[in-house]
Amino acid sequence: MPKTARDTAGTATVSSLPSADAPPRHRWWILAVIGVAQLMVVLDATIVNIALPSAQKDLGFSDGDRQWVVTAYALAFGSLLLLGGRIGDLFGRKMTFLVGLVGFAGASAVGGAATSFEMLVVARAAQGVFGALLAPAALALLTTTFTDAKERAKAFAVYGAIAGAGGAIGLLLGGLLTEYLDWRWTLYVNLAFAVVAFTGGALLLRRTTRDKSVTIDIPGALLVSGGLFCIVYGFSNAESHDWSSVATWGLLLAGAVLLAAFTWWQTRSTHPLLPLRVLLDRNRGASFISILITGAGMFGVFLFLTYYLQQSLGYTPVKTGLAFLPMTAALMIGSTVATSVLIPRIGPKPVVPLGMGLAAAAMVWLTGLDLGSSYTTDVLPPLLVAGFGLGLVMSPAMSLATAGVDAEHSGVASATVNAMQQVGGSIGTALLNTLATSAATDYLDGRNPKDPAVQAQAGLEAYSTAYGWSAVFFAVGLVVSVILYRRGVPATDPDAAPVVHM
């Protein structure tokens, strides 16, 4: 087996690959197999959002609980990505990939058949667990399959395109399945993806040898997963227990203590899950924080705008999915402009804060939406501004988060990028949902909650609160990115290994 640098989620990091070791004959079919698996994982971050109003109506869970259908997946996925990469190194990437596929498909089937809210949330968390096994193994397999530099660049471009378009495809596919079949098919559809990917993987992938030098930092994994869970659960508890409750601040405090203990442990562990030197460069630190904040604002807005379009404006699930596509297009344009035009000329210090500012302005713009708003004049313009702004932030931040990292740690750096995005989304969704639900409750106080007009206005109050706080997130991101990013164009290493982000 050719020697490669260790890979974890969201990364393909390549060291010297002996030319004598011929690449697999069916490598482009292997790319197709890995691409199908990657699409399945990326889809699940958004496909359920469109189906959520239908699932809530069917299973009868509260507005306060709905966030957990989104958060359970993102939290399990984000907090276990680093561990998933280590497991792939230890037990072999092919085996880890196939186990991840089977587990993901099984969890999807359970979620699709859910008869209660609790069953659905447990299934979504299980999807996240197996996704954290699947994603890093897929990237590592891609790295070892494509040994020629030109072919590898093409393969990574295809993989990156799938990763970038997956969110938009998820919103549209979720709408189609919910409207023409049933919300449960947004989960059942994963079985089709998994069967194709498992069959192809079992037939085409080479069995990889176990790296017996790799050990898993179990204490580190337990500390970081426990800390992240306590923080997200603490924010979500504020909706039902109030901010002064021990169930709220106690969990937040416990989460902070566990994460502090994780940080301390990483300085003592012989095989740390996240070597702290990866975080200490100013540009990298700024990028990680920018991705965390953007994840928090973006995931929350997807959720609340979905509810606004369906419940306030009466959009069908398909129409809702289509409504988000211009935002995705604007995001891709913003990313292209940032990486190919702006960053090479002026560096990240003006670009990322500009993106944060545009996103904040778009969120403030969205607070003006009401029951009479039109998509063309009131929803589309702020969506385009938000998408372009997010593109100016995400692409440079993801690139700089891994720039300058040595080969041994570039895998873990990219895994941290993806973990920050998922965890930011979890925290943002929990916090925004708590604030939005509280705003709706305050509005209903002293009014007739059975009056449809009052209910509709309470919903608008909730959504407006969520957009307003998202604007605050992005404003904080603007300040942080102005302070932390270095001036000037970042130095580039022409020999650096390619890195792919999910």
Q: Which residues fall within 8 angstroms of residue 46, CB to CB, at 6 or more apart? A: 166, 167, 168, 170, 171, 174, 302
pLDDT, average across residues 433-461: 86
CA distance 218 to 83: 8
Where exactly are the structural domains of the chain?
26-211, 217-270, 278-493
Find tokens 């000329």 and name the residue: 345
Q: pLDDT grade, residue 282 (50/70/90)?
A: confident
The torsion angle over the Cα atoms of residues 309, 313, 318 and 323, rounded to 10 degrees, is: -50
- What six digits make up the tokens of 209? 């040898």
Cβ pair 387, 331 in contact under 8 A: yes
Helix (H, G, I), strand (E, B) or coil at 448: coil
User: What's domain 26-211's architecture?
Assistant: Up-down Bundle (1.20)
| pLDDT at residue 447 is higher than 90 | no
Buried (b) or exposed (e) across 236-259, using 16+ Cβ within 10 A? bbbbebeeeeeebbebbebbeebb
- CB neighbours of residue 216 within 10 Å: 15
- DSSP class per residue in 19-72: TTSPPPTTHHHHHHHHHHHHHHHHHTTTHHHHHHHHHHHHHT--TTTTHHHHHH
- Render pLDDT for 132-144 as a digit per residue (tens, 0 to 9): 888 877 777 776 7
Q: Which residues fall within 8 angstroms of residue 243, CB to CB, at 6 or more apart? A: 249
Distances (CA, A) of 140 to 136, 212, 434: 6, 16, 38
pLDDT higher for 194 or 340? Answer: 194
Q: What is the DSSP letter of 452?
A: H
What residue type is 115 in one-letter code? Answer: T
CA distance 366 to 381: 9
Most confident segment among 190-204, 408-422, 484-498: 190-204
Using CB atoms within 10 Å of the CB of residue 131, give its burial: 0 to 12 exposed, 13 to 18 middle, 19+ buried: buried
- Render pLDDT for 466-486 as a digit per residue (tens, 0 to 9): 999 999 999 999 999 999 888
Q: What is the pLDDT of residue 218?
A: 85
| pLDDT at residue 407 is higher than 70 | no
The torsion angle over the Cα atoms of residues 43, 49, 55 and 61, rounded to 10 degrees, is: 130
Q: What is the pLDDT of residue 421?
A: 79
CA distance 38 to 418: 14
Cβ pair 334, 390 in contact under 8 A: yes
CA distance 295 to 299: 6
Q: Find the helix or strand (DSSP H, E) in which 384 lies.
A: helix 380-402
Distances (CA, A) of 124 to 32, 69, 117, 449: 25, 7, 11, 32
Question: What is the widest separation between alpha-carbon atoms in the chain?
Answer: 77
Q: What is the pLDDT of residue 364?
A: 95
Q: What is the pLDDT of residue 49?
A: 78
Q: Please state, rounded to an integer, the average pLDDT across all residues of the chain.
A: 81
Establish whether domains 26-211 and 278-493 are of one fold. yes
Q: What is the pLDDT of residue 500?
A: 44
Q: What is the pLDDT of residue 144?
A: 72
pLDDT, average across residues 12-34: 62
Closest by CA position to 495, among listed 370, 366, 407, 367 = 407
- Render pLDDT for 287-307 as a digit per residue (tens, 0 to 9): 889 988 988 888 767 778 888
Cβ pair 123, 70 in contact under 8 A: no
- What six digits make up the tokens of 20? 């004598």
Buried (b) or exposed (e) across 261-283, using 16+ Cβ within 10 A? bbbebbeebeebbbbeebbebeb
Q: What is the DSSP letter of 370?
A: -
What residue type is 184 in one-letter code? Answer: R
Topology annotation, domain 278-493: Growth Hormone; Chain: A; (1.20.1250)
Q: Percentages helix, strand, coil for the chain, rounded to the nearest 5?
A: 75, 0, 25
Cβ pair 284, 403 in contact under 8 A: yes
pLDDT, average across residues 322-348: 84
| pLDDT at residue 6 is higher than 50 | no
pLDDT, average across residues 343-363: 91
| pLDDT at residue 269 is higher than 90 | no
Q: What is the pLDDT of residue 214?
A: 64
Q: What is the pLDDT of residue 17?
A: 38
Determine the distance from the C-alpha atom of residue 118 to the mean position of all C-alpha atoms in its chain, rounded to a whole number.
22
| pLDDT at residue 1 is higher than 60 | no
Quote the pTM value. Answer: 0.76
pLDDT, average across residues 58-64: 84
pLDDT, average across residues 213-239: 80
Distances (CA, A) of 413 to 53, 135, 316, 406, 410: 36, 15, 40, 10, 5
Q: What is the pLDDT of residue 4?
A: 40
At 109, give phi and psi (nearest 5°).
-65, -40
Cβ pair 152, 309 in contact under 8 A: no
Most confident segment among 72-76, 98-102, 179-183: 98-102
pLDDT, average across residues 328-349: 83
pLDDT higher for 209 or 250? Answer: 250
Most confident segment among 140-149, 416-425, 468-477: 468-477
Q: What is the pLDDT of residue 32?
A: 87
CA distance 148 to 171: 35
